[in-house]
Structure 1
Amino acid sequence: MTPRPGRADGCPAAAGQVPGPQAGDAPYARLDTEEFTATPHAVFEALRAEAAAVPVVVRGGIHAWLITRYDEARAVLADDRMAKDVRHWRDFHAGLVPFTGDVAVAARRNILSSDPPDHTRLREVLLSAFSPRRIELLRAQIARIAGDLLDRIAPRGRADLVAEFALPIPMTVICELFGVPADDRPGIRTWTEALFHGAAMERMAQASNEIDALLARVVEIRRADPGDDFTSALIVACDAGRISSEELASLLRAMLAGGNETTANLIGNAISALLQHPEALKLAVGEPRRWPQVIDEVLRWDAPIQNSLWRFATEDVEIGGRLIRRGDAVIVALSCANRDERAFAHAAAFDIARADRGHVSFGRGRHYCVGATLARLEAQIALPALFERLPDLRPAPGAALRYRQSTMSRGLISLPVQFAATPGRPAATCAS
């Protein structure tokens, strides 16, 4: 079966244009289906067995190459010939790419869609503002936030741990880190939802305008009243001429998106994995030193971002016997590579004591996730607090796991649970 010119949604290609990868007689695999949303690991397993590079169709009817195997994934993530700048994307300039959330990220100038030297400069500024000291100062705040949420949940005996725990923790943490006023915080989640989960173009544009206005207010507030927060640190860099005003806003936007979605998915996926594997949960609770291992295994076994953001070949590249042509779009299947038996023994098994580590869930090389340390810290505080406070936590009867429709993100819509109701902590204890 030879892929025919045109988008997968039936729209014709521009005259003389053939979209996406040219894979000879290899059919495109579909990653824009309910089957993929429900069982991505089964789909990935089949594609990984087929080849290291597979032509696929993703949400929006976009054609791309999917990198499925561990060694090739690591190579592509660090390959200078795989650019992030959308100007290298042939189909985008041919008018064959609809405006989906991940395309919006790629098309708008920001650290996630830039290459050196701009990327190097922006990353240095970001790392300086996102210093280990500033992150470590959040430890007590994260514990307080998790404790306050559990105080609300514990007396009821049942909860949705996505809406009431996994989502609010990173939202509150990132807003406190940035100095976002409490009244403006709900708008951030609305924008993140629109960006990651397939909102209509009009709604996505509206959400983008709203977040731009919100960030402008935050910058105005912090410029007038600077503090020891992330936004104030970026304003100092801007005033020193290291970044422009537009770049300041883009850095805030990128970190807000990544700091919410990735960590919320990580916490939700971790709770689900541990409830499915009670022996692993018992081991972690009995040996608290294992919580970092739990986080690493969740990141490998059920990564919160299952497919990387876009990359574009700047020259012809051969991967796994397939020719990636200049201008082709490339996606690294992080979740797929993380379950490659060539790299991980019994890769489909959830094993917090495994010796083979080295997942690619946070990327690799110059695009390694800047927020990885904060995401780990939030999960390593939130999970022990949850299972210590609610030791008999269990899935609610009849609750089925349902995931959000997304090519890139892997997160639960809800996680209904039940447990023995316990009183909330006294106010004096909560404040300590």
Structure 2
Amino acid sequence: MTQATEVPLYMRRDVLDPSPALGEIRDSTPVRKLRTAMGMPAYLVTRHEDVRAALADPQRFSNHKPPGWAGGPHFDADEHAKLTAGNLLALDPPEHQRIRRMLTPEFTVRRMQRLEPRIVEIVDQHLDAMEQAGAPADLIARFALPIPSLVICELLGVPYEDREEFQHRATRQLNFSIPVKERMALGDAAREHMMSLVQRARRDPGDDMLGMLVRERGTEVTDDELVGIGGLLLLAGHETTSNMLGLGTIALLQRPEQLAVVRDDPDAVGPAVEELMRYLSVVQNAIARVTTTDVEIDGVVIPEGQIVILSLPAANRDPRFIDHPDALDIGRGAPGHLGFGHGVHHCLGAPLARMEMRIAFPALFRRFPNLALTEEVHDIRFHAYNLIYGAQSLPVTW
């Protein structure tokens, strides 16, 4: 196995924008062979129409990976099944639908609306703490990261005192510059932690999601599946939203007139969140697919058994999809963006993420009307080699 020594093309950024080279590929040769972050050959797909079609076609573009795929460690069939159990991103229909049906009731818009007062309370508590501590502050550490972390901890039933450990572990798990063996060890530690919570829920199911699954689906779902479900939701539930809050703040601070609209017009916040999702595309690419048959895209034949990388930033900035794609225009709402994916793997937690952002952005800008970065945008350090793009820290004053 070869570890890549530089950030692969499909993960490169120019601050908030995808690499210009990615746009050039999309506009000239939209399907191109390259090597993954693990050094394996793959096909990169960049146009919105093609990425959307692949996301909607699990029969030909499979999420299920055989043991040892992409140069990773080899496991026997039983161990591989154990490691992927319950993880929606590693499953294809019909197994995917079986797990998803168990979870869908917890992520309906109505269920999220019941959570709204608690999310408002969490946001206000963190703003109070920031204000009392005074400027300057790291907006990531004080606001963008702890809010979604606390929300998903409460939803799942994960002790909030565990947050520093799982946040540190999650960031390193998603960092492709870290050797595979180390990331596998981090994954093992994450599963051990989640298994202890699953076993606790088996003994004494609470009102959280793990408890609900045990009470209502206990005979239908295994402990390994509960570990996979909980681990994915914990990882995705704080990493994506926290990076959206951080990068979204940068983007809006650069555009004071749009920031003012988000701050002052409640009806504008929902469309603004959708446009920020499109514009920022913090998820660098959809989980890699494997072709189950020969597939032709834009005249390029991708043979069976090949890795396919679906670039969400390139697709969401495709001029065939939306006019003036490199401009942030919070008024348009960006219908059809792929920031939450598409098809059977469309983000289950999208209603929760939307609500957190709709509450957090205007609350932040109302509380600190003079919010400003304390360093130049090009001096900010970003997670350049991560599956989920974001700022490592974000020093602000007010």
Q: TM-score, normalised by structure 2?
A: 0.89
Q: Kindly indicate whether residue 137 of structure 2 is the aligned counterpart of residue 137 of structure 1.
A: no
Once residues 62 and 256 of structure 1 are traced to their aligned partners in structure 2, the CA distance between those partners, rounded to angstroms, is 28
Per-residue displacement from partner, 1:328-369 (whole Å, max 9, x unpaired)?
111111111111111111110000112652101111111111
Residue 188 of structure 1 aligns with an amino acid whose one-letter code is: F
The verdict on how the C-alpha distance between 1:289 and 1:251 changes in structure 2, with shifts beyond 3 A counting, is same
- Residue of structure 1 equivalent to 2:253: 275
Match of 1:84 among 63, 75, 91: 63
Q: Kindly indicate whether residue 390 of structure 2 is the aligned counterpart of residue 416 of structure 1.
A: no
Q: Kindly indicate whether residue 309 of structure 2 is the aligned counterpart of residue 331 of structure 1.
A: yes
Q: Is the 8 A contact 1:196 1:409 kept in 2?
A: yes
SS at match of 1:137: helix
- Residue of structure 2 equivalent to 1:108: 84
The verdict on how the C-alpha distance between 1:120 and 1:35 changes in structure 2, with shifts beyond 3 A counting, is closer
Q: Is the 8 A contact 1:32 1:59 kept in 2?
A: no
- Residue of structure 2 equivalent to 1:118: 95
Q: Structure 1 residue 32: deviation in Å?
A: 7.5
- Residue of structure 1 equivalent to 2:131: 154
User: Aligned residue pairs: how many?
Assistant: 386
SS at match of 1:215: helix
- Residue of structure 1 equivalent to 2:218: 239
- Residue of structure 2 equivalent to 1:392: 370
Per-residue displacement from partner, 1:109-152 (whole Å, max 9, x unpaired)?
42111111111101111213434444322212211111111112
Once residues 403 and 105 of structure 1 are traced to their aligned partners in structure 2, the CA distance between those partners, rounded to angstroms, is 34
Q: Is the 8 A contact 1:38 1:402 kept in 2?
A: no
Once residues 23 and 81 of structure 2 are traced to their aligned partners in structure 1, the CA distance between those partners, rounded to angstroms, is 28
Once residues 360 and 81 of structure 2 are traced to their aligned partners in structure 1, the CA distance between those partners, rounded to angstroms, is 29
SS at match of 2:42: strand
Q: Structure 1 residue 7: deviation in Å?
A: 5.3
Once residues 18 and 83 of structure 2 are traced to their aligned partners in structure 1, the CA distance between those partners, rounded to angstroms, is 26
Q: Kindly indicate whether residue 74 of structure 2 is the aligned counterpart of residue 74 of structure 1.
A: no
Q: Kindly indicate whether residue 355 of structure 2 is the aligned counterpart of residue 377 of structure 1.
A: yes
SS at match of 1:204: helix
Match of 1:197 among 157, 175, 178: 175
- Residue of structure 2 equivalent to 1:163: 141
Q: Structure 1 residue 279: deviation in Å?
A: 1.3
Once residues 392 and 161 of structure 1 are traced to their aligned partners in structure 2, the CA distance between those partners, rounded to angstroms, is 14
Once residues 36 and 325 of structure 1 are traced to their aligned partners in structure 2, the CA distance between those partners, rounded to angstroms, is 32
Q: Structure 1 residue 8: deviation in Å?
A: 7.6
Q: Is the 8 A contact 1:64 1:330 kept in 2?
A: yes
Q: Is the 8 A contact 2:273 2:333 kept in 1?
A: no
Residue 141 of structure 1 aligns with an amino acid whose one-letter code is: R
Per-residue displacement from partner, 1:368-396 (whole Å, max 9, x unpaired)?
11011101111111111100100110111
- Residue of structure 2 equivalent to 1:22: none
Identical residues among aligned pairs (%): 34
Structure 1 runs not aligned, ≥5 long: 1-5, 11-28, 420-432
Q: Is the 8 A contact 1:238 1:245 kept in 2?
A: no
Structure 2 runs not aligned, ≥5 long: 74-79
- Residue of structure 1 equivalent to 2:276: 298
Q: Kindly indicate whether residue 23 of structure 2 is the aligned counterpart of residue 45 of structure 1.
A: yes
Extract structure 1 runs of 4+ deviating beyond 4 A.
6-10, 32-39, 104-107
- Residue of structure 1 equivalent to 2:289: 311
Per-residue displacement from partner, 1:258-313 (whole Å, max 9, x unpaired)?
11111111111211110111111122223221111111111000112021111111
Q: Is the 8 A contact 2:72 2:180 kept in 1?
A: no
SS at match of 2:43: strand
Q: Is the 8 A contact 1:162 1:415 kept in 2?
A: yes
Q: Kindly indicate whether residue 28 of structure 2 is the aligned counterpart of residue 54 of structure 1.
A: no
Per-residue displacement from partner, 1:391-423 (whole Å, max 9, x unpaired)?
11011144523320235311111111110xxxx
Once residues 363 and 193 of structure 2 are traced to their aligned partners in structure 1, the CA distance between those partners, rounded to angstroms, is 32
- Residue of structure 1 equivalent to 2:105: 128
Q: Is the 8 A contact 1:85 1:106 kept in 2?
A: no
Per-residue displacement from partner, 1:240-274 (whole Å, max 9, x unpaired)?
32x22211111111111111111111111211110
More off after superposition, 40-49 vs 333-342: 40-49
Once residues 106 and 34 of structure 1 are traced to their aligned partners in structure 2, the CA distance between those partners, rounded to angstroms, is 33
Once residues 334 and 159 of structure 2 are traced to their aligned partners in structure 1, the CA distance between those partners, rounded to angstroms, is 43
Q: Kindly indicate whether residue 335 of structure 2 is the aligned counterpart of residue 361 of structure 1.
A: no
Residue 405 of structure 1 aligns with an amino acid whose one-letter code is: A
Per-residue displacement from partner, 1:143-200 (whole Å, max 9, x unpaired)?
1111111112113122111121111111111001111123322222122112112333
- Residue of structure 1 equivalent to 2:192: 213
Once residues 393 and 147 of structure 1 are traced to their aligned partners in structure 2, the CA distance between those partners, rounded to angstroms, is 16
Once residues 356 and 190 of structure 1 are traced to their aligned partners in structure 2, the CA distance between those partners, rounded to angstroms, is 33
SS at match of 2:329: coil
Once residues 403 and 190 of structure 1 are traced to their aligned partners in structure 2, the CA distance between those partners, rounded to angstroms, is 15
Which protein is bigger by CA-based radius of gyration?
Answer: 1
Q: TM-score, normalised by structure 1?
A: 0.83
